[in-house]
Amino acid sequence: MSDDKPVQTRLWRIAPQGRYQLAVHGGAGGRIHELADQERHAFEDGLSRAYAAGETVLADGGTATDAVCAAICVLEDDPLFNAGRGASLAADGSAELDAAIMDGAGHAGAVAASRHARNPVRLARQVMRRSPHVLIAAPDVELINSWGEQTADQRYFVTDSRRRQLAHLHADDADGPRHGTVGAVARDSTGGLAAATSTGGIANQSVGRVGDTPIIGAGTYARNGLAAISCTGHGEAFMLCVVSYDIVARLRYLGVDLADAVSATIETELSGKDSSGGLVAVGADGTVVVAHNSPMMFAAFDQDHRLVTLT
Ligand code: ASP
């Protein structure tokens, strides 16, 4: 699948600016010419709205955790992205969603193969706040209700365009293109870090398959004083290479800077193993790094007080 082939890594390093920092991504994957202009603008619009939602929280003095959750909810509600409503479908036509959130103080929550929570990232946050666990698989309606979160049925999540995509993939016996997984990282005005990621996984994936997104240290990781990271890409490779923790370990044990840690992990753990994807990261000093070795990636970040949406 051409989507899986890494290209030369592209990396943006944004020097610390302002009281808080935020970066949002909308997935890494195939080639830009696969998207019509209109669709590309719709992706950019979704990312801008998500960025604005997260930024409002931070500007009001809210926490990095609340900011990343707010940003992700916008994208889960937007049917264009591969998360929440409009997510990629598993081989049987159902939406099984994964999400995780982690704060830099060492708390994390995640859900895998979630079929009922309207906003999987909010449920992940409840796992973090209200349960003694980190990851809950196939959370049931009773649990979701007991935590006061909204449920939705499969008709809400499954869109016509995802049904058509799945039918094409069945006809070709193929895996789908991967873009549209969503993630966010933030550093709030107290220096607290957080990361969150949400996805429907890979179109036409086996029922019950869980990717890197809800695996702490693989697709999502945060640690105050070091960095917060949200990944997107070939989930199996990100799990096997423990990508987000690998970056943090380089900061922690080698003392390198964030951009060097990100590029070293991508080069050695992903490109070196012929896997592609991307990530957004924020360091303890507020440096933001956006990088991918996939042909394209959607991301939004603040550069010189200007919102840049990258495709
Ligand atoms: N990493 C996600 C997964 O493997 C997919 C993606 O980011 O596009 O489930």
Contact status, residue 189 vs residue 19, Cβ threshold 8 Å: yes
The pLDDT, as a whole number, for residue 4 is 65
Closest-CA residue to 124 (of 162, 81, 82, 76): 76
Q: Is residue 204 part of a domain?
A: yes
Residue 86 marked ligand-binding: no
pLDDT digits (tens, 9 = 90+) for 98-149: 999 999 999 999 999 999 999 999 999 999 999 999 999 999 999 999 999 9
The pLDDT, as a whole number, for residue 306 is 84
pLDDT digits (tens, 9 = 90+) for 31-64: 655 666 778 889 999 999 999 999 999 999 999 9
Give, for 140, the enclosing helix (H) or strand (E): none
Total structural domains within the chain: 1
Closest-CA residue to 242 (of 208, 279, 209): 279
Q: Is residue 305 part of a domain?
A: yes
The pLDDT, as a whole number, for residue 35 is 67
Q: Is residue 1 part of a domain?
A: no
Q: Is residue 42 part of a domain?
A: yes
Say whether pLDDT at 2 is over 50. no
9 classed as catalytic = no
- State the DSSP string of 174-215: -PPP----EEEEEE-TTS-EEEEEEE--STTPPTT---STTS
Q: Is residue 2 part of a domain?
A: no
Q: Is residue 298 part of a domain?
A: yes
Mean pLDDT for 246-263 is 98
- Give the mutation target among 25, 178, 210, 221 for probing the ligand 1 site: most ligand atoms within 8 A of CB: 178
- Give the mutation target among 179, 199, 240 for probing the ligand 1 site: most ligand atoms within 8 A of CB: 199
Predicted TM-score (pTM) of this structure: 0.96
Q: Is residue 5 part of a domain?
A: no
**Residue 29 vs residue 7, higher pLDDT:** 7
Token pair in block for residue 155: 């008709």
Q: Is residue 51 part of a domain?
A: yes
pLDDT digits (tens, 9 = 90+) for 58-93: 999 999 999 999 999 999 999 999 999 999 999 999
Mean pLDDT for 218-244 is 97
Domain assignment of residue 109, given as a range: 10-310
63, 65, 181, 199: which one is catalytic?
A: 181
Q: Catalogue the long-range contacts made by 133-136 (C-beta closer than 8 Å, 24 or more residues apart).
A: 133/109, 134/108, 134/109, 134/110, 134/216, 135/100, 135/109, 135/110, 135/111, 135/214, 135/215, 135/216, 136/110, 136/111, 136/112
Q: What is the dihedral of CA 216, 221, 224, 225, to 10 degrees?
A: 120
Q: What is the CATH number of the domain that holds 271?
A: 3.60.20.30
236, with CB counted inside 10 A (0-12, 13-18, 19+), is middle
Contact status, residue 284 vs residue 224, Cβ threshold 8 Å: yes
